[in-house]
A and B are shown apart, each in its own frame.
Chain A
Amino acid sequence: MIRGLYTSASGMLALQNRQESLANNLANINTPGFKQDVGVMRAFPEQLLSRMNDQEGLDVPGVPTMPGQPAIIGRLHTGVYMSEALPNFAQGDIEETRNPYDLALMDNIQPDQDGNERRLFYSVARIEDVTQPAQEEDIRYTRNGNWSVNADGYLVTADGYYVLDNQNQAIRVNDPVSGINAGQDLKINEAGELLYKDPNTNEYQSLAAHPRLGLAVVTNPLMLVREGTNVFRWEGDINVEAIDVAEANDQAALAAGTYATPTIAGRYGMQQGWRERSNVDPGQTMTNMMSVLRAYEANQRVITTIDGTLDKAANEIGRVNG
């Protein structure tokens, strides 16, 4: 009886966490590249119950009653909690912005042989000294391709992270030193190569200092730590590989005849002048919120009912001339 009180309370607490997660998804319904979090509810570790002062009872399968021991009733989970928020890395729909610094990333890279999901990300970083490549621990991953150019001519995200090329260098599109001003004529093709329009010949040329955009293939992206501000950080065991390295490895493996599970099994591409929208589904989120509300209400009802029973036990049992 008392146990039920805490079970329901834990339910209310878990549902409150769930509501916070859903509210955050809804709040980011217009954030480009946002990936919604799905709350995972899990029962508390189960425990075995036994009957007090009674050794007669049915055997619970797998747990036979020992002579001289209390009879075991069965297993019980005494509550629920939200154990984790699983990001859903599904592709968000893309919208046209006609802005040259917006880039939508699309991929359908297949899972590896162990069934681990693989996703493509842009690499970005906050760098102190922009002339140096970003340190590995500073690199963050994002799907937000809604960029602009800062006062020094570097390509940055809305949150001030520098967009990196495949050598982990910040990309400078307006460079008064070298005289290359890609500016609004910056072109990023489907393979992530950065091009600018040569003012003399009017032809597109590679931005020599920045061969390609720093795309990374992340195996098992669920293990990425969400930092907020649209970026993910990797910690520990997940496998992050630069896409050009991965492609080169795939081709080498193909040539050597050791082509088992390619890293880039599937296609990817970039669309300039478009951006990826958040993948939050408002209908589903709202429905989930309503079911959270009702479940919360039901748990409250259970608590009130148990409280009523306790009330009887405390105030009515044993009362004379009640």
Chain B
Amino acid sequence: MQSLNISTSAMRGIQQALDNTANNLANIDTIGYKRRVASFSELLSDSMNEQPAADNQNRNTPVGIRIGSGARLGMTKLDIGQGSVKVTDVPTDVLVEGDGYFLVTHKIKDATGAVIQEENRLTRDGSFKVSFDDDEQGYVLHTTSGHILTDENGVNIVLPEPVTNIQITAEGALTANGVSYGNIGLWKVDNPDQLQQVGQNLFDADLDSGANPTTKYTNALITGDATLRQGALESSNVSMTEEMSQLVNIQRAYQLNSRAVGISDQMMGIANQLRSR
């Protein structure tokens, strides 16, 4: 009976949507997290010719009856809406206001310690820490995942000494004790739908190892699409009420489809009882 498959396909999709909602809710306190929105899609539809050949009168639709085959989860789309501001007053916390991403890099080494590749990642998470980095022989601003913040040319920002009194202007100029250490790069992504989430609050920047980000992205600080704010962080853009109502919605959809499975099963049971006397 096809209806069992129809309902099961929908239930599978709903389960995935539930996973997505659960992930959004799990990251409700993750700095710079962008929620994903699940969207369903119809599966193929079949036209069957089960009618008597003479049936050609008073039809409103093309010949045959249509039997659909259910639904699936079509896509989960990134919602890049701005999260709310969380003021921390930590000087190395930077909030992006507007449309832009930090570019952070991380060196991947082989067993001998030689650098084989450099990962380029984009992030909205501006909670940087300053610590000493062996490769750069200096102090760097890095994310919690260990990726190093880069400047407007995609080069790691290195501070020669454990500086104090770090100042970051709205335009990205980084100074410490009055000495300039370059400008932070903030990159505008034209097509955020194509951003690939790689975990740890990072998106794949889709840049070759060591490539200059200006070959692919424009600097949002220069175009004025975004500004920076020191001493604040961007909360995730997950809204509790929205996720909860989505949860209710998909739970009910799951229940309805499982009822449909139940009813189809009962019908099969009834057909089975035809010869039970």
Which residues of A come within 8 Å of B, CB atoms? 12, 15-17, 19-24, 26-32, 34, 37, 39, 42, 44-45, 81-87, 97-99, 101, 144, 146, 148-151, 153, 158-159, 174, 181, 183-184, 199, 222-223, 225-230, 235-236, 282, 285-286, 289-290, 292-293, 296-297, 300, 303-304, 307-308
Contact = CB atoms under 8 A, between A and B. Distances in A.
Nearest to A220: B60
Contact of B39 (A81, A158, A226, A229): A158
B160 interface: no
Interface string B12-44: 001001000000000000000000010111111
Contacts of A183: 190-191
Contacts of A39: 65
B67 A17 contact: yes
A151 B59 CA distance: 43
Given A85-B66, A300-B274, A307-B277, A30 B264 contact: no
Interface of B: 1-3, 6-7, 9-10, 14, 17, 37, 39-47, 50-52, 54-55, 59-62, 64-71, 74-75, 77, 79-81, 99, 190-194, 223, 249-250, 252-253, 256-257, 259-260, 263-264, 266-267, 270-271, 273-275, 277
B271 A300 contact: yes
B44 A229 contact: yes
Contacts of B81: 98
Contact of A222 (B61, B70, B250): B61
Given A97-B37, A174-B191, A226-B66, A28 B61 contact: no
A235 B69 CA distance: 22
B55 A83 contact: yes
A304 B273 CA distance: 9
Contacts of B52: 44-45, 81
B37 A28 contact: no
A21 B67 contact: yes
Given A26-B7, A85-B65, A181 B190 contact: yes
A37 B69 CA distance: 13
A235 B66 CA distance: 15
A227 B7 contact: no
Contact of B10 (A28, A45, A83, A296): A28
Contacts of B7: 23, 26-27
Chain A to chain B: the 8 pairs with minimum beta-carbon distance, closest first: A27-B10, A24-B68, A228-B45, A158-B74, A228-B44, A23-B3, A27-B70, A31-B40
B260 A153 contact: no
Q: Specify which of A15, A228, A285 lies most central, judged by the most chain B CB atoms within 10 Å of its CB.
A: A228
Contacts of B2: 20
Given A85-B65, A184-B99, A286-B259, A229 B43 contact: yes
A290 B263 CA distance: 7
B41 A235 contact: no
Nearest to A97: B37
A28 B40 contact: yes
Nearest to A31: B40
A84 to B, nearest CB: 5
A239 to B, nearest CB: 15
18 contacts: A17-B50, A24-B6, A26-B260, A27-B68, A27-B70, A44-B52, A45-B52, A83-B65, A85-B66, A225-B62, A227-B44, A228-B42, A228-B69, A229-B43, A230-B42, A235-B62, A296-B270, A304-B277
B108 to A, nearest CB: 25
A174 B194 CA distance: 12
B62 A24 contact: no
Given A29-B256, A293-B263, A293-B267, A17 B41 contact: no
A46 B77 CA distance: 54
Contact of A20 (B6, B39, B271): B6
B10 A223 contact: no
A28 B81 CA distance: 27
A84 B60 contact: yes
Q: Specify which of B42, B52, B99, B193 lies most central, judged by the most chain A CB atoms within 10 Å of its CB.
A: B42
A270 to B, nearest CB: 18
Contacts of A300: 270-271, 273-274
Given A21-B67, A27-B6, A223-B61, A229 B191 contact: no
Nearest to A146: B39
A34 B43 CA distance: 11
A83 B190 contact: no
Nearest to A183: B190
A297 B250 CA distance: 30
Nearest to A101: B193
